[in-house]
Amino acid sequence: MNFALAGNPNCGKTTLFNALTGSTAHVGNWPGVTVDKREGTYKKLEQKVQIVDLPGIYSLSPYTPEEVISRNYILDEHPDCVINIVDATNLERNLYLTTQILEIDVPVVVALNMADALEKSGDRVDVKALEEKIGVPVVSISALKGQGIDELMQRAYAAAQRPREGRTVLQDSALAHLIRDVQIALAGQNVASPLFHAVKLVEGDELETKAHASTVKMVEAFKKTFTDDTFGDDFEALVADARYGYISKNFASALHKKNTQALTKSDKADRVLTNRWGGIPIFLAILFAIFHLTFSENFLFLNGFGDGWMPTLEDLGMDTGNFGVQLLACVYDGTVYSPGVIINNLWNNVIVGNLFGLLSGAVENIGVDWVVGFINNGIIEGLAAVLSFLPQILVLFLFFSILEDSGYMARVAFILDRIFGKFGLSGRAFMPMIMGFGCSIPAMINTRTLADQKERTATVRVIPFFSCGAKLPILTAIAGAIVVQFGVGNADFITFGMYVLGVATAIVAVLVMRNTTMRGEVPPFIMELPAYHLPQFKSLMIHLWDKCKHFIKKAFTIILASTIVIWFISHFSFDWKFLADEQINESILASIGMFVQPLFTPLGFGAQLQNWGWVFVVAAVTGLIAKENVIATFGVLAACIIGSALPEDEEGISYVVAMIDATGITVPALIAFIAFNMTTIPCFAAVATARAELPSKKSFNWTLLFWLVTSYIVAAAVYTVGSWWWTIFLWLAAAVLISLGIVWFNRRKKAV
Ligand code: GDP
Ligand code: MG
């Protein structure tokens, strides 16, 4: 048996799907999280039932590719029952879709979800009354709390036993008459669900008129005899109005509202959080707070802003060899660490450091030099470099998940829409972009929620600029090393700044594209804002666990394989002679690196670096496979460069420190290096996704070029402005000239 879950976006379909099938699919408190159908099995009935989670839809007349998936599934795959999930806190609007599903010849059960939230608000739905009026079973459930789910499934199972004929709420006599005529004609052609198709044909639905071209003429002829005072011959509006009219007259009476006047808590919070002037500063402040909690080595700036006043543990006369003191040093050592840094310290100093230390000690016993070198540097250092960032990645994701699940991220899209909508960038497009903070791949797939193909292309292109989890090690390691080595700034400021730079680059790039090569109408942003709610512990943990599994799996597969390859090509010359660590400059890797290196001179990590400068270029290239590789590459090569054992703590950071020492690279160049990696061609998997989501090979090729050019410009700007501040005027002048050029060109085009 096969049940389909259908409903509006954000009504809780995926939550119910997870509860039914025990899956851990992504749930987010914003519309449009699920863009493809997903299947699982429910086992608590007499027979196993296949459950299909469909993308959210507001109506069965689809506008976007992912809406088509849902419509076609319900119509063509003949599920045994459609479970129509209805958000009880938003009854009227949700029932709009219900009235359309009811027109199909398929068993339907309505799941009245969010019963818990409804109860909290004090409102009440009379389920019995609603059931009588709708004419199919209605079950009140809470997908989140797992209430009523088994009853829902039993009633769906019972409903699935006998066929059901479609029924419509379009009872207005003239309209009903018109629909009935078309229905009879379609039934004569043996069309399945004739009622549904008849209504859609009358509405003039695009997919239907294509599918039933021969009937369209007849429908037009029928329509001629029919004119309406308010809508003329706009049958789509006419039908929609009739549906809403019926819903508010007949169904809505089942809802007993406690109090219609008072502002809900969500409304009150939104007065502040989505405030016209305060919205963006509040968003930036929240973002900074997150980075501060995750990365700051000077928590709440307790140690002051300039030179710190707090004594180190050694100053206090403590024995740093003592294990208890070492634990204490993870929390406080001359400054108070933020929670993210504390967890990271514990993980690295107590777990990873010791574990890998023991391991490399054991490997030394093998005695064969190249084998020891290969295992210790080719395998262990590379892995350690990447794994050392796991805790901070998880902490950052915890915060992002909280923002998402609480409903705040949807507000961010709303705020940004208000500012950038005028310039061709809609709030809807910000949703996938914000998803990009997690991983570009689901984010690019999520662009299927965008109706306009040009907007979609532009969005896919800038998604990688929203720095993903895999890029985090680059930011953290380099920011940490800058603080250690140059004593400038705080790691949290640098990481925050880089994230903001990525977002700003994305916005500028989209605006430029939307006003030049990717012009198009901005569809109005009609997403309604979901209610705020407390994030669910369970769903947060599922999120983190997924992230953790994914990261570790990647570390032991693709990253491990890459570091092994890097070790080999850095220890062999082109004539396949094995090289000792000191001879690495003669290796295949170094030769290639040195050849390309001069290209990066304007970015600060090219010809101006000493001997080892090619390492940066090589690291950036290995990042094309997986972004974690950038730091893993430093890990593999660091031993050759300093020629001795590495300091045990802060694995990833110490590798970058080694690189700074060896190459003499400057702070602006390091920041430019981060910027380059953040905005250049993303990892292999993301590139493949982009290829699949972009409309053509040509547009994909342009996208690759776009990434290269953007990263080059952004990194060059960072480096030059960081090194010679006055160059900012040159960049600004160039930006102004280009903008004026675009405006002028568009004016002229319009005039023609
Ligand atoms: P979908 O877009 O329909 O797949 O909806 P999701 O399953 O992603 O859920 C959207 C939001 O509604 C999430 O934040 C869920 O935690 C929340 N949610 C889902 N079911 C319930 C419920 O029964 N009660 C409450 N209070 N929230 C729910
Ligand atoms: Mg979903």
Residues 6+ apart with CB under 8 A from 461: 509, 513, 690, 703, 706, 707
Closest to 71 (Cα-Cα) out of 84, 62, 80 = 62
Q: Dmax over Cα atoms in the chain, in whole Å?
A: 97
Is residue 225 situated within a structural domain?
Answer: no
Is residue 284 situated within a structural domain?
Answer: yes
| Residue at token pair 């010679």 | 724
- Pocket test of ligand 1: the residue of 5, 10, 53, 83 to mutate, having most ligand atoms within 8 Å of its CB, is 10
Is residue 744 situated within a structural domain?
Answer: yes
The CATH number for 116's domain is 3.40.50.300
Is residue 227 situated within a structural domain?
Answer: no
- Ligand 1 neighbourhood includes 28 CB (under 6 angstroms): yes
Which band of pLDDT confidence, cut at 50, 70 and 90, is reported for residue 111?
A: very high
Is residue 352 situated within a structural domain?
Answer: no
Residues 154 and 273 in one domain: no
pLDDT per residue as tens digits for the range 595-607 = 999 999 999 999 9
Which band of pLDDT confidence, cut at 50, 70 and 90, is reported for residue 230?
A: low
Tokens matching residue 576? 């396949």
Describe the strand order of the beta sheet including 108-113 as a list of residue ranges: 38-42, 49-53, 2-7, 81-87, 108-113, 138-140
Residues 134 and 277 in one domain: no
Q: Is 656 exposed, middle or buried (0-12, 13-18, 19+ CB in 10 A)?
A: buried
- Ligand 1 neighbourhood includes 113 CB (under 6 angstroms): yes
What is the pLDDT averaged over residues 90-108?
94
Please answer whether residues 175 and 201 qualify as being in contact, where contact means their C-beta atoms are separated by less than 8 angstroms.
Answer: no
With a pLDDT cut of 90, the percent of the chain lying above it is 58
Residues 153 and 279 in one domain: no
Mean of all residue pLDDT scores within the chain: 90
Domain around 274: 263-295+366-521+541-752
431 CA to centre of ligand 2 in angstroms: 14
Q: How far does Cα 261 stand from its chain's mean position?
A: 36
- Ligand 1 neighbourhood includes 611 CB (under 6 angstroms): no
Please answer whether residues 4 and 60 qualify as being in contact, where contact means their C-beta atoms are separated by less than 8 angstroms.
Answer: no
Tally the residues of the chain.
752
Residues 469 and 606 in one domain: yes
Residue 336 forms beta bridges with which residues?
Answer: 332
pLDDT per residue as tens digits for the range 198-227 = 999 999 898 898 988 888 888 888 888 777
Domain boundary among 159, 188, 211: 159
Please answer whether residues 415 and 287 qualify as being in contact, where contact means their C-beta atoms are separated by less than 8 angstroms.
Answer: no
Residues 447 and 563 in one domain: yes
Is residue 306 situated within a structural domain?
Answer: no
- Ligand 1 neighbourhood includes 86 CB (under 6 angstroms): no
Name the DSSP class of 81: E
Domain boundary among 124, 159, 194: 159
SS3 548: helix
What is the pLDDT averaged over residues 235-260?
86
pLDDT per residue as tens digits for the range 185-196 = 999 999 999 999
Is residue 118 situated within a structural domain?
Answer: yes
For the chain, the domain total comes to 2
Distance, CA of 329 to CA of 694 (rounded, Å)? 50
pTM score, two decimals? 0.85
Domain boundary among 137, 159, 181: 159
- Ligand 1 neighbourhood includes 12 CB (under 6 angstroms): yes
Distance, CA of 718 to CA of 723 (rounded, Å)? 8
- Ligand 1 neighbourhood includes 26 CB (under 6 angstroms): no
Residues 268 and 152 in one domain: no
| Residue owning the nearest CA to atom 8 of ligand 1 | 27
What pLDDT was estimated at residue 646?
54
What is the pLDDT averaged over residues 564-581?
89
| Residue owning the nearest CA to atom 20 of ligand 1 | 12
| Residue at token pair 């107590």 | 350
Sign of CA dihedral 78, 79, 81, 82: negative
Cβ neighbours around 215 below 10 Å, total: 19
Which band of pLDDT confidence, cut at 50, 70 and 90, is reported for residue 28?
A: confident
Closest to 475 (Cα-Cα) out of 449, 493, 450, 452 = 493
Taking phi first (over 0 means left), then psi (-120 to 50 degrees means alpha), and beta for anything else, what does residue 136 get?
A: beta
- Ligand 1 neighbourhood includes 37 CB (under 6 angstroms): no
Ligand 1 atom nearest residue 28's Cα: 8
Is residue 153 situated within a structural domain?
Answer: yes
Please answer whether residues 501 and 714 qualify as being in contact, where contact means their C-beta atoms are separated by less than 8 angstroms.
Answer: yes
| Residue at token pair 């990873």 | 352
